[in-house]
Amino acid sequence: MSLGGSAEAVSASELSEKELAEIGLRFEVDGEIGTITLDRPGKRNAQTFATWSALARIGESLPSQVRVVVVKGEGPSFSAGIDLRMFTPEGVPGQGSFASVASLEEGDFEKRIADAQRGFLWLRRPDIVSIAAVQGHAIGAGFQLALACDLRVVADDVRFCMKEPALGLVPDLTGTKPLVDLVGVPRAIELCLTARTVGADEAVRLGLAELAVPVAELGQAVQDLAAALLATDRGAATATKRLLQAAPGRTLTEQAAAERAEQVVRIRTLFASG
């Protein structure tokens, strides 16, 4: 569940490194690679309203040279999901709680959720490739953050779990569609409604992860994948990702037409004189 920021939520485009640290995030850019680190290891990188608001603004202000975005967690867990203080009347200091937004008008309530979803939606942009580097717990909102990324490389100790239904909620951080796309409706129902955990081997088998490696090798595996992605021409990579993302919703005839349109642009860009 996610309801966006409170009135005190900060704009990540204006956040200093110190302010991001107070929210529990780090954002670093090294050439064409941007790295977002959930940095609350003492809380297993649990997420709050401010986390989602900051993620959205990072996407909005992403430097133009960035082609690959890596999302990872500090410490032994990727993210244990929602900060449990959000279920209490007191909530997270300065951010409120579920109780504090429960009385909002429906339109305002849905806008809060939409604002939070923005923090996840931008990771699917065709001009970037996002990689989740997942180790340890990836529960609820953590699982959905991993699902928001294009690719998932997991450590052999990973534990995926869609916890929201067990808490009386639904997964609303844009995780239901990629989950169904990857594993199908029956398996998605089983995973969500039992809230069971999925380990590394099953995650690869179900298509929830592209690669599973020992914990100590996770960083290098992600680095190698990023380097391979960056070796591809940026224009071709963007156009190809755009084609692939749209393919499930198109007929073969429609997809063939889209391929023609994209290829016209690519060949003119590469070979047209003048």
| pLDDT number for residue 96 | 78
pLDDT at 9: 39
Fold of 12-230: 2-enoyl-CoA Hydratase; Chain A, domain 1 (3.90.226)
Q: Distance (Å, rounded) from C-alpha 24 to C-alpha 85?
A: 15
Predicted local confidence at residue 23, as pLDDT: 92
Average pLDDT per consecutive 10 residues, the chain (274 residues; last block may be shorter):
39 67 93 97 94 95 97 97 89 83 84 94 98 98 98 98 96 97 98 98 98 98 98 98 97 98 97 81
* Secondary structure, 3-state, the chain: CCCCCCCCCCCHHHCCHHHHHHHCEEEEEECCEEEEEECCHHHCCCECHHHHHHHHHHHHCCCCCCCEEEEEECCCCCECCECHHHHCCCCECCCECHHHHCCCCHHHHHHHHHHHHHHHHHHHCCCCEEEEEECCEEECHHHHHHHHCCEEEEECCCEEECCHHHHCCCCCCCCHHHHHHHHCHHHHHHHHHHCCCECHHHHHHHCCCCEEECHHHHHHHHHHHHHHHHCCCHHHHHHHHHHHHHHHHCCHHHHHHHHHHHHHHHHHHHHCCC
Domain ranges of the chain: 12-230, 234-271
Looking up tokens 């939606």 gives 121
pLDDT at 114: 94
Class of CATH domain 234-271: mainly alpha
Radius of gyration of the chain (CA): 19
Q: Give the closest residue to 117 by CA, choosing from 176, 194, 40.
A: 176
